[in-house]
């Protein structure tokens, strides 16, 4: 089967105002794809639109200012897809938030907020847009997961849970859609150099996150589009990420010991 080609396609990208989502939007529009860019920060969406339009790509970026957890935002997305022909070729569920800190000492609201943004919202948006994806003869659902959706670590319990949920959802959806025109790609980055951990939910302002290596957001975006183009089912990015995941698959007890939290 030929590679998925973004030229002339219609895509929805959530979390498009910064980081991976912003880079994906720029790469997709540069390749001739119309992008419905969804984000909470109107000023960032405006600057993204100006950057893309300055490059001569008029009408390729279609911004929607809204919260991905709000059904009204889903209404806007669906309405725009309908107005553009009613067929959707790519859905990128990228919007996400995180937190750092002990689960025991955290609030219930922290867990609910992270699960709402990282899992419930993209799952529901996917359900809403599936009829439009199925109307395309060449569609992809691309879910941005994490290596922490393969191997959990301490002090990120809620984030890990949300990404494990996204991992399982992606696998189940892929099986359900087998035989249709819709493919499902799960991309699992490790730490990304972005604004992600600048704003953490109910976390200590001095909280830090250990990681083995990191990639710039645009490198993750490029690898994501490559995975979509090749119709990959799943990709794990970065050497550090692969080491974490595959070491856990080979010897879980060793990883449990290495990752244990000292008290």
Q: What is the pLDDT of residues 54-104, one digit of tens each?
A: 655 558 999 999 999 999 999 999 999 999 999 999 999 999 999 999 999
CA atoms within 13 A of residue 94's CA, in its CB half-sphere = 32
Among 178-182, 217-221, 253-257, which stretch is predicted with the lowest mean pLDDT? 253-257
Tens of pLDDT, residues 30-47: 999 999 999 999 999 999
Measure the CA–CA gap between 3 and 228, rounded to whole angstroms.
8
Tell me which residue of 94, 40, 25 sits closest to 70, measured CA to CA.
Answer: 40
User: Does the structure show a pLDDT above 90 at 205?
Assistant: no
Measure the CA–CA gap between 93 and 241, rounded to whole angstroms.
20
Q: How confident is the model at residue 211 (pLDDT cuts 50, 70, 90)?
A: low
Tens of pLDDT, residues 93-137: 999 999 999 999 999 999 999 999 999 999 999 999 999 999 999
Residue 201 is predicted with a pLDDT of 65
Residue 190 is predicted with a pLDDT of 87
- Residue ranges and CATH numbers for the domains of the chain are 10-258 (3.40.50.720)
Percent of the chain with pLDDT over 70: 90
H helices of 68-137, in order, are: 71-83, 108-115, 121-134
Tell me which residue of 175, 178, 241 sits closest to 213, measured CA to CA.
Answer: 241
Is there a contact between 184 and 91 (Cβ–Cβ < 8 Å)?
no
User: Does the structure show a pLDDT above 60 at 249?
Assistant: yes
Tell me which residue of 189, 108, 176, 109 sits closest to 141, measured CA to CA.
Answer: 176
Active site residues: 159
Q: How confident is the model at residue 240 (pLDDT cuts 50, 70, 90)?
A: confident
User: Does the structure show a pLDDT above 80 at 138?
Assistant: yes
Residue 262 is predicted with a pLDDT of 76
């Amino acid at each position: 089967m030929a590679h998925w080609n973004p030229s002339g396609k219609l895509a929805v990208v959530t979390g498009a105002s910064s980081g991976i989502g912003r880079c994906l939007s720029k790469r997709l529009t540069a390749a001739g794809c119309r992008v419905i860019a969804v984000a909470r920060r109107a000023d960032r969406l405006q600057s993204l639109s100006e950057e893309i339009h300055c490059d001569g790509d008029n009408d390729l970026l279609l911004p929607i200012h809204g919260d991905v957890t709000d059904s009204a935002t889903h209404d806007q997305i669906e309405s725009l897809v309908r107005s553009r022909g009613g067929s959707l070729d790519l859905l990128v569920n990228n919007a996400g938030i995180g937190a750092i800190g002990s689960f025991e000492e955290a609030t219930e609201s922290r867990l609910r907020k992270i699960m709402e943004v990282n899992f419930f919202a993209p799952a529901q948006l996917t359900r809403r847009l599936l009829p439009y994806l199925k109307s395309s003869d060449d569609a992809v659902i691309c879910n941005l997961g994490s290596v922490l959706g393969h191997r959990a670590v301490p002090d990120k319990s809620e984030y890990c849970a949300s990404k494990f949920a996204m991992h399982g959802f992606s696998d189940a959806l892929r099986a359900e859609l087998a035989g249709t025109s819709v493919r499902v790609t799960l991309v699992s980055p490790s730490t990304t150099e972005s604004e992600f951990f600048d704003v953490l939910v109910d976390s200590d302002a001095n909280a830090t996150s250990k990681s083995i290596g990191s990639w710039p957001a645009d490198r993750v975006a490029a690898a994501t589009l490559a995975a979509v183009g090749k119709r990959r089912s799943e990709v794990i990015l970065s050497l550090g990420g692969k080491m974490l995941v595959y070491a856990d698959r080979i010897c879980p007890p060793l990883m449990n010991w290495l990752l244990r939290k000292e008290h």
